[in-house]
Amino acid sequence: MSFRRLSTERVYTGRLLKIDRDRVELPNGRATDLEMVRHPGAAAIVPFVSDDDILMVRQFRYATAGFILEVPAGTLNPDEPPDACALREIEEEVGHRAGRLTKIGAVYTTPGFTDEIIHLYVARDLVPVAQRLDHDEVLTVERLPFRRALEMIRDGGIVDAKSICALTLARDLAAG
């Protein structure tokens, strides 16, 4: 069974997102209108500064009305490969260059209404460099034990989905 997009109407174009209203024939043969948020994709990274410690960012997020603890992440630039985005974001957000980068997975953030996919990585062999935050980034870098970050998932201290996925997959990589 497959689907067919019958038509698309662009209803919004913003700096980052585009919103389309698609007329779709579903795999069951029925037609419906679906709203889709189009996103260029992103990369998120668990940067290990030692075998035991990682860097995270406490970042202001307007949607949450405050600061939340996250792994560093950022949006792909046009035609930018996800691994290049990951390397760029580590430097920009936490002020470190990665010597090794390992892809650990990818996740659709909310497949009910967006095509956003976030590529997940572990970075090692970090070397300090100058931090270069974007004008709209308000964050502090926090170093914490990897084990503590995993505990914070369970106790509600980390609620960001991409961070939970990345940290969990990094744990599985380390255990495996």
Statement: residue 176 has pLDDT above 70: no
Q: Determine the 3-state secondary structure of 119 from DSSP.
A: strand
> 166 with 124, same domain?
yes
Q: What is the mean pLDDT of residues 28-47?
A: 97
Query: Which tokens hold the place of 104?
Result: 């650990």
* Residues 30 and 73 both lie in one domain: no
How far apart (Å, rounded) are the C-alpha atoms in residues 119 and 155? 25
Q: What is the pLDDT of residue 172?
A: 86
Report how many domains make up the chain: 2
Q: Are residues 87 and 143 in the same domain?
A: yes
pLDDT band at 175 (very low <50, low <70, confident <90, very high): low
In this structure, the answer to whether residues 22 and 47 fall within a common structural domain is no
* One domain for residues 28 and 103: no
Q: Give, in order, the Cα–Cα distances in Å from 89 to each of 51, 72, 74, 86.
A: 21, 7, 6, 5
Q: Which range marks the domain in which residue 25 is found?
A: 4-38
Residue 49 has pLDDT above 60, yes or no: yes
Q: Over the stretch 105-144, which tens digit does the pLDDT of each residue have?
A: 999 999 999 999 999 999 999 999 999 998 999 999 999 9
- Whether residues 132 and 77 share a domain: the answer is yes
Q: Tokens for 129, please give them.
A: 């460099």
pLDDT tier at 173, thresholds 50, 70, 90: confident
The proportion of the chain whose per-residue pLDDT surpasses 70, expressed as a percent, equals 98
Q: Are residues 47 and 25 in the same domain?
A: no
pTM (2 d.p.)? 0.94
With CA atoms as reference, report the closest residue to 94 among 65, 152, 53.
Answer: 53
Q: Which two tokens stand for residue 153?
A: 């998932």
50, 109: one domain: yes
DSSP string, 12-64: EE-SS-EEEEEEEE-TTS-EEEEEEEE---EEEEEEBSSSSEEEEEEEEEGGG
